[in-house]
Amino acid sequence: MKRRALVSGLTLTPLALLVLAACEGTQAAAPKPTATASSRVTPTAASPFQVRVRMAPQEARLGTDEQVVIQASFVNNQGRPVPGARLSAIVHYPSGPKTFKSEVTTFQDGRADLAVPVAPATRGVNVRVEVIMSYQGQEYRANAGFRVV
């Protein structure tokens, strides 16, 4: 009967034990893990669209500016405008997130604007905004924000 040793859940033959012992202490002894069906990582393809965002004003003056306008452009990978995308935004106020949705879709120039209130943000606060373009059943996102001064 041949002797086998159990190493980390694997059964090894005497020849494999000899090879493993000879490599002990070197990097050659550490085999690279192989991917299995359950751990395989599928590379994600680059998004076919981009969301470009500008906030106006970037620094909202409390008591003067009632709204900040999200100026969003939706373009394909060649930079060409894409009409027909719906703009929405999640504005992360200190009191909690609020969602706003545009009544119109992007125009022929790929642009849509959405005004969101400055309040309830207070002076000195940075407000994070998640901009979402919905197009052909998919969502494309970009992050932006404004500061209240």
Bridge partners, residue 93, by sequence: 96
pTM over 0.75: no
Q: Quote the pLDDT of residue 61.
A: 95
In order of their start, the domains of the chain are 1-30 (no CATH), 49-148 (2.60.40.1930)
Instruction: Please give the average per-residue pLDDT across 6-34, as a whole number.
Output: 43
Quick check: 11 pLDDT over 90? no
Would you place residue 148 in the very low, low, confident or very high pLDDT band (cuts 50, 70, 90)?
A: very high
- List the beta strands (DSSP E) in the chain: 5-7, 10-12, 49-56, 59-60, 67-76, 86-93, 96-105, 111-117, 126-135, 138-148
Quick check: 4 pLDDT over 90? no
Q: What backbone phi and psi angles, to 5 degrees, belong to 52?
A: -115, 135
Q: What backbone phi and psi angles, to 5 degrees, belong to 102?
A: -75, 145
What share of the chain has pLDDT > 70, as a percent? 70
Q: Quote the pLDDT of residue 45.
A: 57
Quick check: 14 pLDDT over 60? no
pLDDT digits (tens, 9 = 90+) for 41-89: 333 457 899 999 999 999 999 889 999 999 999 999 999 999 999 999 9
Q: Quote the pLDDT of residue 63.
A: 87
Would you place residue 12 in the very low, low, confident or very high pLDDT band (cuts 50, 70, 90)?
A: very low
Rounded CA-CA distance 54/120 in Å is 21
Q: Quote the pLDDT of residue 125.
A: 96
